Copies of this chain bind each other. A is one copy, B any other.
Amino acid sequence: MNEFDVIRRISGILPDQPPEVLVPVGDDCAVVRLGGEPWLAASDMLISGYHFGAWATPEEVGYKAVAVNVSDVAAMGGTPRFVLLSGGAPDPETTLRCMEGALEACRELGVYPLGGDTTRADALTVDASILGGLTPGMQPVLRSGARPGDLLAVTGELGASAAGFLALEAGRRGEAERLVRRHLRPEPRVEAGRAAAAAGVRAMIDLSDGLASDVRHLCESSGVGCRIELDRLPVAEDTRFFAGSEGREPEVLAATGGEDYELLLAAPEGVLRQMTGACEVPVSVVGEITAHREVEFLRGGEVRSPLSGWDHFPAEE
């Protein structure tokens, strides 16, 4: 049983769905009607030793917990509004520092903390829940709308966060400050997500587990496949250089590393052009949606599969 099996098993034993629930568990956010308006809801938990090592300060952990939740709202085309924050640590000073980082993220990302819980824990643990709104008249962008012929595109850059993680793990933080910052302080693509929703992008997901894993979720939800060209992934020079210095193939790291918190989207070319014109962050076409249900990564015309992303409970263990 792996993480996705757990989620599938849970999804099979849910109570009856009330009429206010417009999109249940299974997408980046659920969509629920509150006071007659659609709201987005999600949560994400970070735990020391699994999501970060001793190299992360409590403030950085708190910041990231809020940012990754904001990214879930961005991936639906929404506007992040409110969070609840639960934090546990071995001592109250660490809890306070973690919450200070979380509140810094709240200020920077424009969300307001409604409350939460603090407790003692052996491992620094933080869980954030988020509520996001939708622009009136706008539909949330789900994972399930991709159609054969749509282009696949990503915002920003891939692999920088994974390279930053390698730098942190190798004790090379000082050599790769930009990459480390990409890992510890993700910049959720709220503006790009809203532009995607406004343009009519057909499917969207945020890249948390890694492109190779997340594109599979999008394709499975949509009942399609895809072809991605590794050479088209937007990988920055410093990412390439650092990946190489750690003996990693940059494009493979970019496809599998995870935690980019960029958006992956599927849309017809015209829609994509409209979205690209309406947002500041660059958008790169990396492949296309196909009718056969396979996810293929190509390099120089050759199929280079399988690649896979992050799984919290990998099957081999």
Contacts and interface: CB of A to CB of B under 8 A. Distances in A.
A129 B131 CA distance: 11
B24 A114 contact: yes
A308 interface: no
Given A91-B313, A114-B24, A115-B29, A121 B47 contact: yes
A314 to B, nearest CB: 10
Q: Give the copy number.
A: 2
A163 B262 CA distance: 51
B92 A2 contact: yes
14 contacts: A13-B103, A14-B112, A15-B106, A25-B115, A30-B115, A35-B39, A43-B129, A45-B86, A45-B117, A47-B88, A47-B120, A49-B122, A50-B119, A121-B125
Contacts of A50: 88, 119-121
B42 A115 contact: yes
A3 B95 CA distance: 9
A99 interface: yes
Interface string A150-188: 000000000000000000000000000000000000000
Given A1-B96, A34-B37, A92-B1, A43 B112 contact: no
Given A25-B116, A120-B312, 12 more contacts: A5-B92, A6-B95, A6-B118, A14-B112, A34-B37, A36-B36, A43-B129, A45-B125, A47-B88, A47-B121, A50-B88, A118-B313
Interface residues of A, number: 70
Given A21-B114, A36-B36, A125 B122 contact: no
A82 interface: yes
Interface in A68-119: 81-82, 84-88, 91-93, 95-96, 99-100, 103, 106-107, 112-119
Nearest to A317: B91
A47 B90 CA distance: 12
A54 interface: no
A227 to B, nearest CB: 30
Contacts of A35: 33-37, 39
A126 to B, nearest CB: 9
A112 B21 contact: yes
A60 B39 CA distance: 31
B127 A43 contact: yes
A34 B87 CA distance: 25
Nearest to A90: B313
B45 A127 contact: yes
A18 interface: yes
Contact of A6 (B5, B29, B96, B121): B96
A142 interface: no
